[in-house]
Amino acid sequence: MPKGCQAIMTYASTEPAPPPVDGYIMQAPTSDRETAGLLMPQDLLSASLEYAGDLIAKGKEKTIMPASFIPSIITSPVTAYRWYSLASVGGDDDFFSSDLPTSALQFTFGRLDKPMLILMSEKDEMVPLTVDKELLLGKWVKAIPEGLASEQSQIITTADHELSEERVARYFVGLVVEFLKELNKEPAGAPLKLQQPHHRALLQVYKMGIPYSRQINAAFEQVTPLVAAGFKVLRTTRDISILLAVIQVLTVFLLGLILIALVVLLYCVNPDLEVRLHLDDACNTPFDTDVYQEERQAIITPWLRYFAGITLWSVLRTFLSLLAVAGLAGAATWHFFLAKQWVEDVEYEGNVDADKALEDLDDDAQAEGGGNGGNKGKGKGKK
């Protein structure tokens, strides 16, 4: 869930210094930590951060967070580290929270080395109503090194987080054009020179309009669930492959035991013993019983005695025992998959309940926002 505003802060504080840029533009910078507080109940948010912190402590920071532990608007997989850095106090990506002290801003906004344009949205639905946007913008501008904060920085009236109104979007593009003129040291009102690739790209975006970018976002929102579903299919395929591999190993093991039993049987049985007994009985030939018993004891080994004691009933009993063990193993495996399916069903039901709760929270927030109404003042700057 990377964000451009966070990328600016990371870029500016990266050492060794990355390739230089001409300036920075932040549109609707918001605190993911405060946004998460709007989208999730506080107890659920605390539980998700505790879960992510435990994974990070165990060295499993790349583990994907369960869907029930993150807001439903985040449709792509998020690692434990990424979620903790966004939603925890003082996390690695906690740049824009309104409660950050001035000393913390010196390590973020205070490290900017190029001109900065900050354009906040007055009706940003991702910012809690308790946040004083004018005060927050003033803190950021004050923390930026002298001369680098653009005078165009302001709070755009009636703008939401995505600049969904075309009038607001055009006004935003106009402010960006003026900022680029400042970078080129051009006088206000002068036409924008198309001598640099990023200037031409900006004008092209202005001609296409913001709706085109929203179509791209909509396309990504449609593709993301398919990627998530494909991930689940791959995980199920992996589990099936592991099960088949275990079955093959057990099959080879049982065939090996059967082979060993046949080899031992061929090695221990002496066919001459049966031939001698049949000849003596058929010819009624008298023989020395003592000598014959000694000979028989010499021929019959302990292994032969063991295998001679094997009867049809013992074989059947062994087969039934093995069948019972295999049945128990199969039942345990089946219950494992049932339990796994039950956990997924519970997670799905939890996500449905969370979505419903989030919708209720959104309705309440919209109702409260509609009650307060009115336009708030803009920050410093000019239109």
The string of pLDDT tens digits covering residues 269-318 is 555 544 444 445 555 555 445 444 555 555 555 666 666 667 778 788 88
pTM of the full structure:
0.50
DSSP-assigned letter for residue 109: G
Between 358 and 266, the higher pLDDT residue: 358
C-alpha 253/C-alpha 261 separation (Å) is 12
Query: Sign of dihedral through CA atoms 32, 34, 36, 42?
Result: positive
pLDDT at position 349 over 90: no
| pLDDT at residue number 21 | 82
Length of the chain as a residue count = 383
Asked if 161 contacts 124 with a C-beta cutoff of 8 angstroms, the reply is yes
Q: Which of 1-15, 53-67, 272-286 has the lowest mean pLDDT?
A: 272-286
Kindly report the backbone phi and psi dihedral angles of residue 116, in degrees, each rounded to the nearest multiple of 5, phi listed first.
-130, 130
- Per the listing, tokens 């939890």 go with 350
C-alpha 23/C-alpha 68 separation (Å) is 39
User: Which of 94, 81, 80 has its CA nearest to residue 9?
Assistant: 94
Helix or strand (DSSP H, E) at 330? helix 312-372
CB atoms within 10 A of CB 292: 13
| pLDDT at residue number 50 | 93
C-alpha 243/C-alpha 260 separation (Å) is 26
C-alpha 205/C-alpha 200 separation (Å) is 9
Query: Which region, left, alpha or beta, applies to residue 189 given φ > 0 means left and ψ of -120 to 50 means alpha?
Result: left
365-378 pLDDT tens trace: 777 765 554 444 44
Structure tokens belonging to residue 82: 């990424």
